[in-house]
Amino acid sequence: MRHYEIVFMVHPDQSEQVPGMIERYTAAITGAEGKIHRLEDWGRRQPGLTPINKLPQSTLRSDER
């Protein structure tokens, strides 16, 4: 089985919606007979050198399957 890593960033104003997003993505992956090996919450972080869309922070999640 192939392994993939998914990382997604969420706008800071929508961080309360992250649990619902995780549920939808998990359902989509398991519905396609995929398995989630590890799910990590990286929390709110500042982007590297250049802010993305002029936002100082984003919520990051990592999903490895």
Q: Identify the CATH number of the domain in which residue 55 sits.
A: 3.30.70.60
**pTM for this entry:** 0.60
With beta carbons less than 8 A apart as the criterion, state whether 59 and 15 touch. yes
Number of domains observed in the structure of the chain: 1
Q: What are phi and psi for residue 25, nearest 5 degrees? A: -65, -40
Per-residue confidence (pLDDT) for residue 59, from 0 to 100: 62
Q: Give per-residue pLDDT as tens, 5-52.
A: 888 878 778 878 888 988 998 999 999 999 988 888 887 776 665 556
Task: Reduce the DSSP state of residue 36 to 3 states and report it.
Answer: coil
Domain containing 23 equals: 5-64
